[in-house]
Structures are given as C-alpha cells and as structure tokens.
Amino acid sequence: MEIGLIGQPNAGKSALFTKLTGIGAISSNYPGTTVEFQEGSVLRNGVRLNFHDLPGTYSLTGVTEDELVATRLLAERQLQVVVAVADATRLEQSLVLIFQLIELGFKVVVALNQMDVARKRCSLDARRLQEVLGVPVVPTVAITGEGVEQLVDVLVTSDYPISGFEVRYDRHIEALLRGLCVDPDCRTGKFPKRGALLKLLEGNQFFSEQFSNEFKWKAQEATAEFKQDHGEDIEVHIHRDRYGEAGRIANEVISNRVPPRRISERVSDATLRPQTGIPILVAVLGGIFLIIVFVGGFLEGALLSLYHRVVGDFFTELAEWIGGPLGQAIASGIDLSLQAILAIVIPYIMLFYLMLGLMEDTGYLPRVVVLLDGVMHRIGLHGRAVIPMIVGMGCNVPAILATRVLESKRERIILAIVIVIAVPCSAQTAVIIGTVGTFAGAIWAFGIYAILIAILLVLGRLLHKVLKFEPTSLAMEIPDLTMPHPRNVIWKTWSRTRDFFVVAFPILLIGSIVLEILMAYGVLQAFVEPLAPFTEGFLGLPPITIIALIFGILRKEMGLQLLVVLFGTADLSLVMTPEQLFIFALIMATYMPCLSALAVLSREFGWKDALKITLASVTIAFALGGLANALFQMF
Amino acid sequence: MSSEIAEEYLEAVYDLTLDGGTAKTNDIAERMRVSPASATEMVQRLSAEGYLSYERYKGANLTDKGEKVARRIKRKHRLVERFLVDVLGAKREEFHDEACRLEHVISDESERRICQMTNNPRFCPDGEPIPECEDGDCSMCRDRPSLPLMEMREGQSGEITHLRCEDAGRIKRLISMGFVPGRSVTLEERVPLGGPLLVRLQECRVALAKEYAELVMVQTGPAPGRQPRSKEKASG
C-alpha cells in the first residue's frame, strides 16, 4: 500500500516517518527536484506499507518549491492513503491543509501529532474532530512513538470511507464552482471536480496544467470578475473561508485553553527577543566554532594515531607489491584519502552535523535565521542563507547542498559563490591557522578573516547587482524550543555524513591517486620552473609553493602538509617571510573549490556554472595574492 | 422635516445630476412620486439649509454639503445591497427595496463593518459603482484604522482586513502562511538592523520580512491617544 506523509513544517513529520519505518528507511534523492524526500517501507500483518515522506508544506497553493513538489508527488504517485500529520498545537493551520487533501479526494488519515505539548495547553477532543472531518484521527506523539502503533493499525485495516466533508465557501465561489463543474471542458481526471477547480482558481500551477487552455481562460475570466466585484483576489477569499471553517472546528474541539507560560516558553522568548537573543546567538555560534576547532582537533589527533597504529606498514607493503613509482603513488593516494576521512570528515564534518542537527531539532536554527535576516539582506542574501554559510565553515560540499533552503536558483548560485570564495571551510581554517596563525602571529590570521568578511560583503552586493536580483523576503514560522531527541539527531547526522561519503570520497580517492602519480613522475615539478615568474614575480612566493597551490585544488589542508614536505622543515618561518605566509594563506582561503565541492557544484547547478564559479574564485584568489604582494613591496 | 425624506430627495438629485447637468424640479417630482409643487417646496427648503443650490426655472444642484450626504446614502444603499446579496443570499427582486429602507437607518459604524465584511466592494450587485467613502481610501475608518502590519506598534494586536498586493506569488505566500483576512495578529517584536517582524498569528509565531509586513493590512483596536473623529451626521 502506497502511503503519503504530508504536513506543515515542524509538525513532526520526519520524526513520525522515522518511527513508522524504523532506522532502515531507504533514503533517496530524486533528480530534478531540489527538495529531498524519502521513502521507507514496513511490513505489518502481511501488508507492505510504503511510506512517502513529502516535503513540509502549509498549503497546496503551489507557490514555493516545496509546495509544488508536494502537489506533484501527491498527484503523480499512486497513493492509496495520505497521512496528514497535523500539529495539535497549531490545529487551524493543519486543518487548512487537511481540507485541501479531502477536497482533492484523497483517503486521509489524520495523525494528530504533538499531543504531549497540546495536552499541557488545552483539552482537544480528537473523537469530535474525527466526527466533524469524517476521517480517522489518531492522536500521536511522534518523538516518543505514542500512538504510532494505532496509526499503523488504522492504515492496515483501511476500512474507512472517503470523507464527505466540504468547506462551505462564499456564495459566489460556490456558484462559480457549480458553473464550471457542468462545463463540458471541465475534465479533471482522477480528481474530484470541486477540488481540482478550487486548485485552478487558486492558481496552482500543477493543476492549471491539467486543464485545456480554453477552460483556463474561462476560469481566468471568472476570477477577474470576482476580483472586480469583491476587490479581493479569489485565492485570498478561498483561504479566508478555509481559515474561517478551521477556526470554527478548532473552537469546537478545543476547550480549556491555558495560556502557555512555562519555562521553555520564557527561554523561547529570550532566544528570540533581540536584546537577549543576539548575545545568545553570538555565544551559540562562537561555542560551535570553538567546539569544532578544539574537540575536532582532539578527535583528529586521536583518530590519526589510531589509524597509523592499525594500518602499520600496510601501504608500504602495498606500494612494494605493485612496484615502482606507480605503486608508491597508488598506495599513498589511498592512504592519504583515508587519512582525509579521519582527519576532516569524522572529526570536523560529523561533529558539525551533530551540532547542526541539535540546532535544528531544538528549533534554534529558525532563530538564527530571524536574528540575522536583516544583516543578510544587506549583503543581498536571504536570512535562510545563514544556514548554508554556517555549514560551509565545516565543509563546502554539504554547504552547497544546503543552499537548497533558498527558493530560487539564482539565490542559490549567489550563495554558493559566496560560500566557495569567502567562507573558509575547516580545511581552509586549518591552513590559515597552521601557516600564518602559527608562524606569523594571530594578527595576520585575523587580517585574513577580516579580508574574507570584506569579500563576503562586497561579493554579495556585487553579485546581486550583476545578476539583477532582489533577495526574496523572509516569511517563516518560528517553532517553540523543544528538547531534541538523541536518536533523531544521530540519525540525521549519519544520513548527512553519508551524503559526503557518497559524493566526495570517490572523487577524493581518484583525485589523490592521480595527483600522486603526477608527483611520482615529476609532472608537477615540471610546472615549478615555467611558472616561477608568476609564483615569484607576481605573488612573491617561493617557486616551489606552486605545487602546494596545485594540490590545493584537491585538498586545501594538504597544501600545508605539502609545504612542510617540499621545504623539508616543519618550521615554515625559516623558509617563508610572514608576508609570504600571509599571501599563501590568503590564496588558499579564497582559492577555488576542491574537487569534491566542484563535483557537487556541477551536480547542483550544471558544469557551466560550476566552471564559472571556479574561474571566478581562482581569479579572485590570485588577484588578491598579487595585490597583497604589490602592497607589501610598496611599503 | 423627516431626515429620511430629505435624504431621498438628495439621492434623487444625485442620480439626476450624475451626468453633469441640473435636476429639474419636474424630474425630481416624478422620481419622488409627488406633485411638482411639493417637490419645489422641498427643494427650496433643502436649498435654504444649504444642501442644494436652487435656481428657479433652471433646477437644483447638490452643494458640497448636500453631495456628501447624498453620496453617503448612495453608498449605504449599494453596500447594503452587496451585503444582502453576498452574505445573506437575497434574491434579485428582494434586495433593492429592502436596501432603500435600510439605507436611512443604518449607522455609520455598521456601514463601515459591512464595507469591511464585503471587502470594500466597488460595485453594487446591479453593477452600479459604489461611491467611495469620503476621502476615498476608506478614510472614515480613520478612527479605527486599517494600517500595514509594518506600521503597528510592538505589542499591538488587530485583525487582518486585506492584503495590499498585486503580486500573485506574494499573496499566495502570505495566505499559505495563514495571513488571511479575518485572522488576528499581534506584532510582538521588531528585529533590529532591518530584520523581520516577529508576529503572533493566532496559534503560530511567524517571522515576516518588512516587504511582506507592508502588504498585510490590519485593523487595530481603537488607538489610544487618538481622538475619534467627530462625525458629520446626515441631515436632520
């Protein structure tokens, strides 16, 4: 049985999905859509229940990408049942979505979620709600699993009728619907006419495509006439009536409301109120940065020493077994890739995801977005862009994936460029701290961060001028703060890290081996002499550093280690001046995306845009390096 | 003089002078179904009270004062029609006569509410234009203003009246978030540095950028510290 799971954002849909399907959920990334959605199945009483987790959506008006994807999936998948995950604490809003599902003729089962929170605030008569709506209503608490069994039982028995519930619309709308229904051109396929027509009148893109052009014109005429008469768009009026109905039903089933004034509510307020919220925000972000640097650093050391102990001489033996410089190259290529996983992915990226998951599940992330929205707008970005930027401090690969939180492709590209160029990932941070920070002093390192922030500001503004784009404005619901559920957070962390393994690791592995082979056959060294005028003359760096810069294409933090190898000393201050270290770190910090990031860029935006972004970042990096050198020469 | 009759006369003159010209007493008499003599007498009285400018042999015109009253009555009439048809579902034959009676007795407050309930309609069910309220732009709601959410004070609550926007995408975004006429909102907080507004929308809390907050029109409770406008009563 194919079952769709739909609900407004923060209704606990994902938690319910996890509970319904268990850990073994099959996650898939559907091409062509920017919004991820998941499938999972479970066997119950000999019935296979296939759950489709649809993107969170408030309504099926089809305006945001999420809503469009949700409508499309609802229409195209052969769903026998739709589980509407309703939020008992925001019943009205949930009802509006349920109305639309019923109108479209779906067999609906309501999972009345967040009942634990709702019970503290009011008494909610689920049975009465079931009577009014004419669909099964199962109270649930997804995070603890309460009610999930009952929900599955209801789904398995599936002996419930399609609801006859109808929202009563304004007389004009009803007359309009009646008129259009009898039109011979009104063909709505498997959908009930009333529901499909309402969607057409609301201007849902997906449903508009189902009607013939002549019929659409008729409907357009009617809506224009309606607007003339009422001075209000028909979609506004339709929603007004839906909310009116939802309000009536909510009043009927909810009683004994208690004003929610508990500790968590007060904490919630404090994180949101600007006076207290901004200091808390600074503390939280600073804390995350420190945890990543220190705990990540500790983990890296521990994991690498463990790795060396476990691996022992394996790779030396492997090199000998294959033989020659080629063997050496392949062995060390694999070796270095594995080390990268242990040195970067697990300590920094996984740790980062863990914290991101915590921020999400507590409901803190929306607060970050809200508090920084104004600032982000000044640099031509949407408040939500904060999230990918924070992610980008860990690794660009998931950051580029995270740009999906934005609505338009344009915004996503702007954000991706800003992240690639101006947000230092953990590898770039390692280079900055490891070169200038260690050997030239903290002031120099701060200088680099200051330059990055300046680039961020200028680049953001510039791009949205050049691309002629005004960022879309924020309209986002802020959930209350809640206790995160460990299992959910861990599951999220894992499924995101897996993304990194799948996308980035193969590239890392092959790239490492290729570069090692180039090194082994002296191909890279051949670049040193011819490029010396550029390296030495323009950038003011020792010629040999070009190899480290080329290596930076693959892995930024390797650039640092390579410098050590190339110069044969761990104390870089002996071989490079502070100015040179500064220039080197500056180039590395703004330099092109590493191969893994490049792969994700081209997967998300197409190779043309990925190439443009790469060229832009290389140009900026070298221009900055050259400029810095010129300035140092002058003064 | 009964104000109702005076209002009927002013309404008649209003209709007759819509196309420019002057209202002849004979035409007025015909419309009011009275003798020309009584019509003339009434016109003279209204002229003496400053509602009409009347010249013998030429006819009557509304003065500014008279036009104000006539427009308001006309407006009440057509709004009531709209209400009877849209809300109560009255039939075509019924609503006109009933509106004729109600137009004189309905209070300005009810007129305002009907106007809001029917979404500030511009035409009556017969397609005749509904005169705008005095300064256009719903100025008579000034004592209980409908203002953009953006301009509300922190802590102020109100009810959404309409969305002031032509962009379908933005309207849809707002309505799908629940910014729908009739729902109540409270402006809780403004985030500094050009940040969004924190809004309580019934059971939910929403962050709304100022670009959106400009579009949501809200009718707040009677604003303290603002004197209710002294209302000009219709004649009588």
CA torsion sign, A28 to A29 to A30 to A35? positive
User: Which of B162, B174, B183 has its CB closest to that of A232?
Assistant: B162
Residue B229: per-residue pLDDT: 39
Last residue of a domain, one of B141, B156, B184: B141
State which of A551-555, A622-626, B57-61 shows the largest mean pLDDT: A622-626
User: Quick one: B154 and B178 in the same domain?
Assistant: yes
* Domains A2-157 and A171-255 fall in the same CATH topology: no
pLDDT of A470 higher than 80: no
Residue A623, CB-side half-sphere exposure with 13 Å CA sphere: 9
| Averaged pLDDT for residues A294-319 | 85
Q: Is residue B234 part of a domain?
A: no
pLDDT interval class at B144 (50, 70, 90): low
3-state secondary structure A343-394: HHHHHHHHHHHHHHHHHHHHCCHHHHHHHHHHHHHHCCCCHHHHHHHHHHHH
Q: Does B147 touch chain A (CB under 8 A)?
A: no
Q: pLDDT tens for residues B2-15?
A: 578 888 888 888 88
Residue A626: per-residue pLDDT: 92
User: Which of A235, A244, A375 has its CB closest to that of B171?
Assistant: A235
Segment among A234-243, A316-325, A554-563, B71-80 with least mean pLDDT: A554-563
Measuring CA to CA, which residue among A625, A635, A634 is closest to residue A451?
Answer: A625
CB contact under 8 A, A61 and B172: yes
CB contact under 8 A, A475 and B175: no
User: Quick one: B121 and B99 in the same domain?
Assistant: yes
With beta carbons under 8 A apart, name residues in chain A contacting B212: 473-475
Residue A265's CB: how many other CB atoms inside 10 A? 13
> Which residues are A49's β-sheet partners?
A42
User: Which of A93, A244, A474 has its CB closest to that of B207?
Assistant: A474
- Residue from B146, B180, B187, B212 whose CB has the most chain A CBs within 10 Å, to mutate: B180
Q: How many residues does chain A have?
A: 635
pLDDT of B115 higher than 90: no
Q: Say which residues have a Cβ less than 8 Å from residue A404's Cβ, sequence separation at least 6.
A: A34, A35, A36, A412
Instruction: Give ipTM to 2 decimals.
Output: 0.74
> What distance lies between CA A299 and its chain's CA centroid?
26
- What is chain A's mean pLDDT, rounded? 81
Q: How far is A275 from chain B (nearest CA, A)?
A: 9
Can you give the CATH number for the domain in which B113 is found?
1.10.10.10
pLDDT over 90, % of chain B: 0
CB contact under 8 A, B205 and A477: yes
pLDDT of A421 higher than 70: yes
Residue whose pair of structure tokens reads 């009952």 in the numeric block? A150
Residue A112: per-residue pLDDT: 92
Q: Is residue B203 part of a domain?
A: yes
Helix then strand then coil, in percent of chain B rounded to 5, is: 40, 20, 40
User: Quick one: B127 and B185 in the same domain?
Assistant: no
From B181, which residue of chain A is nearest by alpha-carbon distance?
A240
pLDDT of A408 higher than 90: no
From B178, which residue of chain A is nearest by alpha-carbon distance?
A93
Q: Does B156 touch chain A (CB under 8 A)?
A: no
User: Quick one: B125 and B152 in the same domain?
Assistant: no
pLDDT of A268 higher than 90: no
> Which residues are B219's β-sheet partners?
B146, B159
With beta carbons under 8 A apart, name residues in chain B contacting A478: 198, 205-207
Q: How many residues does chain B have?
A: 236
With beta carbons under 8 A apart, name residues in chain B contacting A96: 178
**Helices A171-181 and A213-230, interaxial angle, to 10°?**
160
Residue A65: per-residue pLDDT: 67
pLDDT over 90, % of chain A: 7
Distances (CA, A) of A613 to A347, A453, A592, A598, B170: 28, 19, 8, 9, 31
- Residue from A64, A71, A87, A93 whose CB has the most chain B CBs within 10 Å, to mutate: A93
Residue A283: per-residue pLDDT: 92
pLDDT over 70, % of chain A: 93
With beta carbons under 8 A apart, name residues in chain A contacting B203: 89-93
Residue A100: per-residue pLDDT: 92
Q: Which CATH architecture has domain A2-157?
A: 3-Layer(aba) Sandwich (3.40)
Q: pLDDT tens for residues A500-531?
A: 677 667 877 887 788 788 878 888 778 888 88
Q: Name the residue type at position A343.
A: A
pLDDT interval class at A99 (50, 70, 90): very high
Residue A23: per-residue pLDDT: 46
CB contact under 8 A, A478 and B206: yes
**Which three-class secondary structure state does DSSP give residue A105?**
coil
Q: Does B210 touch chain A (CB under 8 A)?
A: yes
pLDDT of A394 higher than 90: no
Residue B235: per-residue pLDDT: 38
Whole-structure pTM value: 0.69
Sort residue A568 into left (φ over 0), alpha (ψ -120 to 50) or beta: left
pLDDT of A612 higher than 60: yes
Q: pLDDT tens for residues A271-285?
A: 888 888 889 988 998
Residue A259: per-residue pLDDT: 66
pLDDT interval class at B136 (50, 70, 90): low
| Averaged pLDDT for residues A540-553 | 84
Domain that residue B86 falls in: 67-141
Q: Do B86 and A174 touch, CB atoms closer than 8 A? A: no
For residue A552, give the DSSP letter: T
Give the residue, A339 or A91, on which the prediction is more confident: A91
Can you give the CATH number for the domain in which B208 is found?
2.30.30.90
CB contact under 8 A, A61 and B176: yes
pLDDT interval class at A471 (50, 70, 90): low
For residue B44, give the DSSP letter: H
User: Quick one: B83 and B127 in the same domain?
Assistant: yes
User: Quick one: B85 and B132 in the same domain?
Assistant: yes
Q: pLDDT tens for residues B175-218?
A: 888 888 888 899 988 887 778 888 988 878 888 888 888 889 88
Residue whose pair of structure tokens reads 């709600």 in the numeric block? A129
Q: Name the residue type at position A30.
A: Y
Q: Is residue B233 part of a domain?
A: no
A46: burial class by Cβ within 10 Å (0-12, 13-18, 19+)? exposed
Q: Does B123 touch chain A (CB under 8 A)?
A: yes
Residue A549: per-residue pLDDT: 84
User: Quick one: B130 and B163 in the same domain?
Assistant: no
Strand order in the sheet with A47-53: A26-28, A37-44, A47-53, A2-7, A81-87, A108-113, A137-139
Q: pLDDT tens for residues A176-224?
A: 888 888 877 777 777 888 888 888 888 887 887 778 888 888 888 888 8
User: Quick one: B212 and B185 in the same domain?
Assistant: yes
User: Which of A61, A67, A371 has its CB closest to that of B191?
Assistant: A371
H/E element, B231: none
Residue A84: per-residue pLDDT: 92
How many domains, in total, are found in chain B? 3
Residue whose pair of structure tokens reads 């400009």 in the numeric block? B214
The dotted CATH code for A171-255 is 1.10.287
What b/e readout covers B131-149, taking b as 16+ CB neighbours within 10 angstroms? bebeeeebebbbebbbbeb
| Averaged pLDDT for residues A43-64 | 80
Q: Name the residue type at position A257.
A: R
User: Which of A240, A373, A480 has its CB closest to that of B191?
Assistant: A373
| Averaged pLDDT for residues A537-541 | 88
Domain boundaries along the sequence of chain A? 2-157, 171-255, 275-634
* Tokens standing for residue B65: 């004062």
With beta carbons under 8 A apart, name residues in chain A contacting B121: 229-231
Interface of B with A in 68-107 (CB under 8 A): 86, 89
pLDDT of B145 higher than 90: no
Measuring CA to CA, which residue among A439, A451, A441, A442 is closest to residue A576?
Answer: A439
pLDDT interval class at B171 (50, 70, 90): confident
